[in-house]
Structure 1
Amino acid sequence: MEHLELFFKSIFVDNMVFAYFLGMCSYLAVSKKVSTAVGLGAAVIFVLTVTVPLNWLLDQYVLQEGALTWLGPEFADYDLSFLSFILFIATIATMVQLVEIVVEKFSPSLYTSLGIFLPLIAVNCAILGGSLFMQSREIETFTLALNYGFSSGIGWFLAILAIAAIREKIRYSNVPAPLRGLGITFIITGLMAIGFMSFGGMLTGGDGETPSTEGTPDDLGVKIEESVKTNETAEVSNITIK
């Protein structure tokens, strides 16, 4: 149940684009065609799925205070958390380089269409944001980290795929001249963000504590009557004073 909730929340409620507006540069630049959007989205899914659990391992067994106890008791006081950004980015850059080599080898046309934005995944804030959110939310297990990385990638993929499909169709629409291009794209993105955020009520509803109603209905009725009498007495006193 925990895995399923994390999966759907990462896609719809905590979507990297619509909830946090991370990775907007690639989102806006590579969303003119569905084919290129699918390629970049698939690359982002792969990079997030690999880097988030790898960075979880780094965080658990290297970076946290006392994480190096597996090397020996003399390392129990070491705290390497100040290296988080450097090691996270190094892991991401390595995976992006691997993706770039694979795409160039097996799909030269996609590699050409993506252009500079494929290597720029290494500095895509959505990728680094996945690892940092994983760290700040204190995800406890490797499988949850894997789930979070994959589902966050799916959310980013759906976002860029949806806006690419809309932008392809909107070319044939009569958009006012001042809004053509990025203007109408930002408006559509905002409306889509509102739609995705509406899923929050479905996935988080019922988590809050319901107010307790102690006592029987008769006791509650007596309390209500006493409250009404108290209010009436206070009103009469005010009138008398006036």
Structure 2
Amino acid sequence: MTSLASLASLHDLTGKTAVVTGGSRGIGRAIVQILAEAGADVVIASRKLDSCKIAAEEVEATTGRRALPVACHVGRWEDCNDLVDQTLEHFGRFDVLVNNAGMSPVYENLEAIGEELYDKTFDVNLKGPFRLAVRAGAYMAEHEGGSIINIGTAGSLVASVNQLPYACAKAGLNALTVGLAEAYAPKVRVNAILPGPFRTDLSKSWAPAEGEDAPFVPLNRMGRPEEVAPLALHLASNASSFTTGAVIRVDGGVTRKV
């Protein structure tokens, strides 16, 4: 029988280094916090360095772990390379990658989508995660192993006309997850988390007000970032040592309802 003490030990990330893109707010920020609380040193990456610095200061103050802020536009190949290089230069290791950064552009209709918007959506949601995962996965496979976690969307399973390029790019991320799980096995595990409707800065324009029901969700409410973070910790740690190539929904039942 597994005891609480052994469960805590399995989730211990002491001595590990974790990189989280889009880590300064929302789901990414919650994941950064829980990984640091589990003992990991963290790299917080996003386009806005100032936001990363604020998050890094908060993490160090509340957990005692080291936190490195890095400006990174994941849609740019060279920024992805630089993020990996800075991580290894600063911490000397790379154990966990969380590909969380993403974008879901608003458009009037499908005919209004231009090539620039389409390409940017795929660059941020698929090209960047591909490059980072390949660089990180190759390093992990040659060293002590590790875990890669791709943050997708439940919308990749039930694509909406209102988010079609985004859903298509995230569907590609699901395929990438399965392919990389095979490519870097047995030392590297690769899994994906598919959040549904969560209350973040990005959902403010369409989400019901705080405290209001969300009738489009079987659980009748929006999710909270801290409800994804424990699963990310599980997948990052030895507690999930036999889990790879998995695509896991955390959506309050939305995809089943549809």
The TM-score with structure 1 as length reference comes to 0.28
The structure having more radius of gyration, on CA atoms, is: 1
Which structure has greater strand proportion?
2
The TM-score with structure 2 as length reference comes to 0.27
* Higher relative contact order, structure no. (Cα contacts within 8 Å, ≥ 6 residues apart): 1
Which structure has greater helix proportion?
1
